[in-house]
């Protein structure tokens, strides 16, 4: 007998597969279930479960320069996958991130301006080194959004609700990319990288290091 309601959230992922020379894709799915009881009620152990709808999404992994994607490598990868939007901006932003980190690790002058802010000023004394140190580090989250000037707004009904969408990736319009990494070290601080993705190098790349609570 269960003394109170039970709740499950089940996550499963399909095998990763290669869809481009540097790009792996896999599907993720989550389903939630409950025995339908109220906290404090005693339910029989054979009480049937009630399942909610299955929620599905796509995850993308862009491999560093020099590594080629293949189904075996995509399937074996355990880290580096991030939830991806359906229009391809996440993958393009991921590729741009790899290029920025590689440039920081090289010897040539950076082709973009690099700024840095942190709770501890010591974290920003060598901003280029900090950016280069993210080589091989799996991002935790990549967010993309179009610039306000590029937003396509469509009013619905009486105009009180407005739908906002971005130009297609094929249009070549710039868009914003924000990449967050997980916390590391004893201080629990993490890096965030922001830039405006466009054809060629971005004009400005911003590093920010904050404590993850």
C-alpha span between 102 and 109 (Å, rounded): 12
% of the chain surpassing 70 pLDDT: 81
Of 32-41, 49-58, 76-85, 163-172, which range is least confident?
A: 32-41
- Residues 159-208: tens digit of each pLDDT: 666 666 676 777 778 889 999 998 876 677 899 999 998 888 999 999 99
- pLDDT bracket for residue 2 (50, 70, 90): very low
Of 35-39, 114-118, 132-136, 142-146, which range is least confident?
A: 35-39
Q: What is the per-residue pLDDT for 52?
A: 85
How does DSSP classify residue 121? G
- Tell whether the model's pLDDT for residue 47 goes beyond 80: no
Residues 6 or more apart from 179 whose CB is under 8 A from it?
93, 97, 139, 141, 142, 143, 192, 193, 194
Alpha carbons within 13 angstroms on the beta-carbon side of residue 65 total 12
Task: Let me know: does 133 contact 127? Beta carbons within 8 Å.
Answer: no
C-alpha span between 83 and 74 (Å, rounded): 15
- pLDDT bracket for residue 148 (50, 70, 90): confident
C-alpha span between 93 and 143 (Å, rounded): 9
Residues 6 or more apart from 46 whose CB is under 8 A from it?
none
Torsion sign (Cα): 156, 162, 163, 165: positive
Task: Give the helix/strand (H/E) hosting 103.
Answer: helix 89-104
- Tell whether the model's pLDDT for residue 11 goes beyond 60: yes
**Closest among 147, 115, 109, 151 to 131, alpha carbons compared:** 115
Q: Which residue has the higher pLDDT, 150 or 127?
A: 127
- pLDDT bracket for residue 38 (50, 70, 90): low
Of 19-28, 94-103, 141-150, which range is least confident?
A: 141-150
Look at the chain and count its residues: 213
- Tell whether the model's pLDDT for residue 5 goes beyond 70: no
Task: Enter the pTM of the model.
Answer: 0.76
- Residues 67-104: tens digit of each pLDDT: 888 899 999 988 889 999 878 888 999 999 999 999 99
The Cα angle at residue 176 between residues 171 and 179, in degrees rounded to 5: 130
Mean pLDDT of the chain: 83
- pLDDT bracket for residue 1 (50, 70, 90): very low
DSSP-derived pairing of the beta strands 7-13 and 50-51: unpaired
Task: Give the helix/strand (H/E) hosting 75.
Answer: helix 71-76
């Amino acid at each position: 007998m269960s003394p109170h309601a039970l709740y499950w959230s089940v996550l499963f992922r399909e095998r990763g597969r290669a869809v481009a020379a540097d790009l792996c894709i896999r599907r993720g799915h989550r389903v939630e279930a409950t025995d339908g009881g109220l906290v404090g009620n005693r339910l029989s152990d054979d009480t049937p479960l009630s399942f909610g709808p299955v929620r599905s999404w796509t995850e993308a992994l862009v491999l560093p320069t020099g590594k080629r994607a293949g189904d075996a490598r995509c399937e074996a990868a355990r880290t580096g996958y991030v939830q991806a939007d359906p229009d391809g901006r996440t993958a393009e932003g991921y590729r741009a991130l790899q290029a920025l980190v590689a440039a920081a690790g090289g010897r040539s002058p950076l082709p973009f301006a690099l700024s840095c802010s942190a709770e501890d000023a010591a974290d920003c004394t060598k901003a280029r080194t900090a950016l280069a140190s993210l080589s091989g580090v799996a991002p935790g989250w990549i967010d993309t959004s179009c610039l306000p000037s590029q937003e396509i707004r469509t009013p619905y009904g009486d105009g009180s609700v407005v739908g906002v969408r971005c130009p297609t990736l094929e249009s070549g319009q710039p868009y914003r990319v924000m990449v967050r990494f997980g916390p590391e070290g004893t201080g629990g601080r993490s890096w965030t990288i922001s830039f405006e993705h466009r054809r060629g190098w971005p004009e400005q790349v911003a590093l920010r290091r904050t404590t993850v609570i």
